[in-house]
Amino acid sequence: MYPVIKPLYEDLPPVEIAGRKLVGRVLFALLVLLSALVGAFSGLLLVYTTDLPQVEALESYRPSSITELYDDRGNVIGSFALQRRVVASYDDFAPVLRDALVSIEDKDFYRHSGINFWRIVGAAYRDIRSGGKVQGASTLTMQLARNLFLSPDRSFHRKVQETMLAIQIERRFTKPQIFTLYANQIFLGHGVYGFEAASEFYFSKPARKLTLPEAALLAGLPKGPGVYSPINHPDRAIKRRNLVINAMLEDGKITAAEADAARSAPLALHLQHDPNSLAPYFVEEIRRYLENKYGADQVHEGGLKVYTSLDVDLQSAANHAVLDGLAAYERRHGWKGNLENVIGEGFALDKYEDPDWADEPDVNGYVHALVTSSGIGIATIKFGRYGAALSQADVAWTQRKIPDLLRTGDICYVKILSLNPNGAARVSLEQDSGAEGALVAIDNATGEVKALVGGRDFNQSKFDRATQALRQVGSSFKPYVYTTAIDNGASPDDTILDEPITFETVSGPYSPHNYDEKFEGVITLRRALAQSRNIPALKLANKIGIHTVIDYAERFGITAKLPPYLPVALGAAEITLMEQTSAYSVFPDDGVRVIPRYITKVTDYEGRVLEEDYPEAKDVVSARTARIMTEMLREVVLHGTGIAAAKMSFPVAGKTGTTNDFTDAWFVGFSPSITCGVWIGFDEKKSLGAKETGARAALPIWMNFMKAAMAGKDPGQFEPAPVVPSTGIGQKLDTADTAAGADETH
């Protein structure tokens, strides 16, 4: 017999039996519900994470970074970037910056595994109480995941993905690696990404040198780069900075004394100058070359390092020389007015921003300013964060009263004489009537372009008058004529007859004359070039043959199409300033032309050399011819049209150039070490005004630049020219051959 097994509840009271059955059913229901929730949550995770990016890609991740341009001494002179970022390592970020960022953004960063559960619960509670999404709960790792892989929206779907990515990142990378990725990626306002670039932009120093107040200011920016911009909203920025300092104090990262000192510190921004602003036309020339060779994406995102030929000191001297020369020209021709008025164009005074104000101004620089008030005896102006007053004495050169000169809302042009940290400035009123200038300076030995000015204001016109503008060169073309003669056996002391002459042409008689409307009779070739006499140059070109002269000009590197007509000998040909300057370097280089170059080396992000450029030289004429021509061009300075430069303390040589109706003014010249060319004119080829010759308009700019360029340097000496006996070639030039005619050129 088997024993009888009693039912489980047989000995229990009926009420207790019913209760236990109910509990069992509830437990079963809860288990079923829990299983359903787990299944649903797993399903959601599957749905939301099936398209997650591969975190493994971070191991080879390289953010878009700046392509930087360096001068010949390793100083940054320009950059190209879609995102202004300088990639740095963990140790490049000062400990005080790391502490500040962790204290304000993620106190448990070094302890959690990607997410902070209690912070999420607290944020959710506060969101529920406030009835909206007001409290963030993202860790630095979650922010990194969002910035790298996800959209900025605050949906539940994105939050789940962010959480899962953060966990994966934490499993694969160390805390310093995660911090470094975050610190290089985050946007910090004004086009700046990452704390290294932000430190350089806001304080002009690397992140490893940040002080406590500076580090706290930057650490406060990720929450709202626009809202807490220290440039646009300094009061908000200070409050946010002090909140960061308080958080650091609470965390024990700093002492109370350090916190008090930091909170009371002024904002003390030291904004970085836009490096592109020193030599914008030079930088633009580099950009065009790089994009053509490497592509726009590589140039703007690839982090190239481009080592250029530019000398920042010479470039600064060139900028000042051109602008000061243009200002002198403007004052010679009096006040013209016709100022733009922003009120008339619908702008409010307090809303107007001029492109010139984007960069921090320099003393002795020129800027467009807004007239904020104008009355009897005084006008007030502003440019950027600076203000200044103009008295009647400051505008005396205009010979007009201030109310007749300036109206409220006018955009005037001023030279900055001094700047005060409190925003006060002292200026002089200048004028921008549209006259333009350009300058090129080339190292004779290497062909390296050391300075390049392509116009008065890059913000107003990107057109480069040094490399792109084809302008008639006037008498600065004559050295090619005389070089052709010397290279074919002529002597500087050969004579030629400077007298009235008529050339018979297919279009009729052509009777050129000299600039001064006089004739000197029998003169040497040396004097004819020094005094820039037109008749001797035409006779010489006609005898040698204009085709031969053009052939020599092409040897010098002139690529422009030169028509085979006799007036080309007087400069009736259009050539760029760059080519004309480079061609003149043949004379001090003993007849060798070194091809101009802007770049010495380009490396990629990893430091691999992509290209390395070396001087490329071509023989043009013999050393004998080059030295004779240098001596003759030296006569231009000592006794000819360039005599103003005779007082310079080092040896120079060169040639003036002036075109018909004074539309173009040139001076191209050289010392033993550097060749420089200057051009002045209007873009629309209108007259600069009576007597605005190369000697008057261009030569002073050339002299000012060369004085600065040679200061403190060994000037060197020109190689002596050989003694060349007269050949008597001049006696054969009394009868001219037929040539096509044109107006005279000086």
The 3-class secondary structure across 166-189, one letter per residue, is: HHHHHHHCCHHHHHHHHHHHCECC
Strand partners, 664: 681
Per annotation, catalytic residue among 68, 103, 105, 196: 105
At the second CATH level, the architecture of 437-476+572-724 is 3-Layer(aba) Sandwich (3.40)
| Backbone dihedral angles phi then psi of residue 724, each to the nearest 5 degrees | -120, 115
Backbone CA torsion sign across 730, 735, 737, 739: positive
Pairing of strands 378-383, 471-472: unpaired
Q: What is the model's pLDDT at position 468? A: 97
Strand partners, 371: 381
Say if residues 115 and 178 touch (Cβ distance below 8 Å): no
Q: Could you give the CA distance from residue 629 to residue 492 in angstroms, rounded to a whole number?
A: 8
Q: Is 187 helix (H, G, I), strand (E, B) or coil?
A: strand
| Backbone dihedral angles phi then psi of residue 504, each to the nearest 5 degrees | -80, 125
pLDDT higher for 600 or 32?
Answer: 600
Check residue 73 and report its DSSP letter.
T
Q: What is the model's pLDDT at position 6? A: 52
Provide the pLDDT confidence category of residue 710 given band limits of 50, 70 and 90: very high
Q: Which residues contact 337 (CB under 8 A, 6 or more apart)?
A: 405
Q: What is the model's pLDDT at position 733? A: 47
Q: Provide the CB-side half-sphere exposure for 76 (13 A, CA).
A: 16
Angle, vertex CA 300, rays to CA 208 and CA 62, nearest 5? 55
Q: What is the model's pLDDT at position 683? A: 96
CB-based burial of residue 506 (10 Å sphere; 0-12 exposed, 13-18 middle, 19+ buried)?
Answer: exposed
**Nearest partner of 671 among 623, 624, 716, judged by Cα:** 716
pLDDT higher for 678 or 9?
Answer: 678
Q: Provide the CB-side half-sphere exposure for 302 (13 A, CA).
A: 19
Backbone CA torsion sign across 660, 664, 670, 675: negative
Q: What is the model's pLDDT at position 167? A: 81
Provide the pLDDT confidence category of residue 137 given band limits of 50, 70 and 90: low
Say if residues 441 and 675 touch (Cβ distance below 8 Å): yes
Instruction: Specify whether 89 is catalytic.
Output: no
What is the pLDDT averaged over residues 240-244?
A: 96
CB-based burial of residue 545 (10 Å sphere; 0-12 exposed, 13-18 middle, 19+ buried)?
Answer: middle
Q: What is the model's pLDDT at position 740? A: 37
Rounded to the nearest 10 degrees, the angle between the axes of helix 212-219 and helix 95-105 is: 40
User: Which one-letter amino acid corresponds to residue 585?
Assistant: S
Q: Do the domains spanning 83-276 and 335-432 agree at the CATH topology level?
A: no
Provide the pLDDT confidence category of residue 556 given band limits of 50, 70 and 90: very high
Provide the pLDDT confidence category of residue 53 given band limits of 50, 70 and 90: low
What is the pLDDT averaged over residues 289-300?
A: 93
- Average pLDDT value over all residues in the chain: 87
Q: What is the model's pLDDT at position 50? A: 47
Q: What is the model's pLDDT at position 479? A: 98
Instruction: Specify whether 105 is catalytic.
Output: yes
Q: Domain 83-276: give its CATH code.
A: 1.10.3810.10
Per annotation, catalytic residue among 79, 103, 475, 532: 475
Q: Which residues contact 63 (CB under 8 A, 6 or more apart)?
A: 83, 85, 87, 184, 185, 193, 194
Q: What is the model's pLDDT at position 13? A: 63
What is the pLDDT averaged over residues 249-254?
A: 95
Find tokens 């007036």 and name the residue: 567
What is the pLDDT averaged over residues 356-381?
A: 92
pLDDT higher for 370 or 145?
Answer: 370
**Nearest partner of 431 among 353, 318, 331, 340, judged by Cα:** 331
The share of the chain scoring above pLDDT 70, in percent, equals: 84
**Nearest partner of 599 among 310, 291, 316, judged by Cα:** 310
Q: What is the model's pLDDT at position 60? A: 60
Provide the pLDDT confidence category of residue 626 given band limits of 50, 70 and 90: very high
Q: What is the model's pLDDT at position 37? A: 57
The structural domains of the chain, with segments of one domain joined by +, span: 1-50, 83-276, 335-432, 437-476+572-724
What is the pLDDT averaged over residues 682-699?
A: 96
Kindly tell me if the per-residue pLDDT of 55 is higher than 70: no
Which range among 42-56, 238-252, 474-488 shows the weakest confidence by mean pLDDT? Answer: 42-56
Q: What is the model's pLDDT at position 657? A: 97
Angle, vertex CA 710, rays to CA 705 and CA 711, nearest 5? 100
Which range among 35-49, 107-121, 310-324 shows the weakest confidence by mean pLDDT? Answer: 35-49
Q: Could you give the CA distance from residue 659 to residue 661 in angstroms, rounded to a whole number?
A: 6
pLDDT single digits (tens) 472-511: 999 999 999 999 999 999 999 999 999 999 877 666 787 8
Check residue 695 and report its DSSP letter.
I
Q: Which residues contact 49 (CB under 8 A, 6 or more apart)?
A: 160, 161, 164
Which CATH entry fits the domain spanning 335-432: 1.10.3720.10, 3.10.290.10, 2.40.50.100, 2.40.50.140?
A: 2.40.50.140
Kindly tell me if the per-residue pLDDT of 437 is higher than 60: yes
Q: Which residues contact 541 (CB under 8 A, 6 or more apart)?
A: 481, 484, 549, 566, 568, 569
Which range among 160-174, 297-311, 325-339, 673-687 shows the weakest confidence by mean pLDDT? Answer: 160-174
Q: Could you give the CA distance from residue 344 to residue 337 in angstroms, rounded to a whole number?
A: 16
Kindly tell me if the per-residue pLDDT of 158 is higher than 80: no
Find tokens 């595994």 and name the residue: 113
pLDDT higher for 169 or 636?
Answer: 636
Q: Which residues contact 134 (CB under 8 A, 6 or more apart)?
A: 126, 127
Kindly tell me if the per-residue pLDDT of 233 is higher than 80: yes
Q: Which long-range contacts (CB under 8 A, 24 or more apart) does 546-551 make?
A: 546/739, 548/484, 548/488, 549/480, 549/481, 549/484
Which range among 74-88, 378-392, 475-489, 500-514 shows the weakest confidence by mean pLDDT? Answer: 500-514
Find tokens 């040497």 and name the residue: 524
What is the pLDDT averaged over residues 350-359?
A: 86
pLDDT single digits (tens) 658-685: 999 999 999 999 999 999 999 999 999 9
